[in-house]
Copies of this chain bind each other. A is one copy, B any other.
Amino acid sequence: MNGRQVSSSRARVCIQDVARHAGVSAMTVSRALRQPEKVSENLRRRVAEAVDRVGYLPNRIAASLSSSRSNVVGLILPSLRNSLFADTIQGISDVLHGAGHHLMIADSGYGLAGEEAAIRAFLQQRVCGLLLHNTWHTDAARRLIERVGVPVAEIGDLTPEPIDITVSYSNFEAARTMTLLLARRGYRHIGFVTLPLKDNARSVERQRGYLSAVAECGLAADPTLILELPSGIGSGAKAIDRLSEVNPGLDAIFFAGDVLAVGAILECRRRGWAVPGRIAIASFDDVDLLSFTDPPVTTVRIPRYDIGRLSAEAILDRVSGRALKPVTFDLAFQIIERGSA
């Protein structure tokens, strides 16, 4: 193996080299490659030959600088570790790569400051579009985006005042709908476990949805029925513990995150509590896991792949000038009724 040596051709092959080999000008090569129809048949062939003879790899950096047009889209997620985002990323990637664009990914670490830093970094990379999972941003981040005028799609929640494009579902309505379902099933003391609310519009909206439903049904808006816990299997058990201790009448719990619900199911089994006999359980985010528990968990299914696909398409439409006005895609969530409630 001697590939490591950078010897032979110190200088990278550039469009000039192709031009020389094809006996034409650089400009003609550029045209032959990007608008083959604008060039004579035989020239197209000569250029193509020269390209693989010299092993030419067009330099997109130079092209971007020259044309002031980038083909990279930036995506900022709260975390890359959370496998919930995988479907969305795939949706984005499928659309982007299908159109000759590229995807840069960063995480905000579940904080607004982290998001701002990532946005600034992406703007320095001159991304042609920005996909943000957050709907809350620092003032500085908003100003940055508006000043640069880069197309942006917010995808984590259907915000009423989007910066530009928004493609998502309503966390508020989803939580409200699930809570109403529980109430309709006859549960009267419905607990709610939320993930951390700080800097997280989605968590806040889900809690608002729960509260709204509770009020609509004339149930007591009892603060002791609400618990904020960090994500994790252990939190599910802790929730059962705390909520049932303070509220002897507790007959259902709605968890704002899948992992919490799994922990709760396990804790119930440990205690020998029948689900939903002793207590009903509902969840948010339809991860595969939830259909394998015993009983399987009633939950909200989110159109994750489509959120990715449609948001990427909206960005490309904007980039290409095909669409100029802000758009809102309100994608439908779906209540998946299973055995736990």
Contacts and interface: CB of A to CB of B under 8 A. Distances in A.
A125 B293 CA distance: 45
A163 B105 CA distance: 26
Interface in A100-146: 102-107, 118, 120-126, 142, 144-146
Contacts of A289: 288-289, 292
Given A1-B161, A59-B126, A61-B64, 4 more contacts: A3-B146, A6-B149, A62-B65, A80-B93
Contact of A103 (B106, B148, B233, B292): B106
A328 interface: no
A87 B93 contact: no
Contacts of A105: 89, 93, 103-105
B93 A89 contact: no
Interface in A45-74: 55, 57-62, 64-65, 70, 72
Nearest to A82: B86
A83 interface: yes
B57 A123 contact: yes
A289 B288 CA distance: 9
Size bracket, chain A contacts = 35 or more
A79 B90 contact: yes
Contact of A86 (B80, B90, B97, B161): B80
A20 B291 CA distance: 63
A164 interface: yes
Contacts of A87: 81
Interface of A: 1, 3-6, 9, 12, 55, 57-62, 64-65, 70, 72, 79-83, 85-87, 89-90, 93, 97, 102-107, 118, 120-126, 142, 144-149, 161, 163-164, 233, 262, 266, 288-289, 292-294, 326
Contacts of A1: 161, 163
B125 A61 contact: yes
Given A90-B81, A293-B292, A4 B61 contact: no
12 contacts: A3-B149, A12-B148, A60-B124, A60-B126, A61-B65, A61-B70, A61-B125, A81-B87, A103-B105, A103-B106, A105-B105, A294-B294
Given A60-B126, A288-B289, A102 B90 contact: no
Given A121-B102, A292-B266, A57 B148 contact: yes
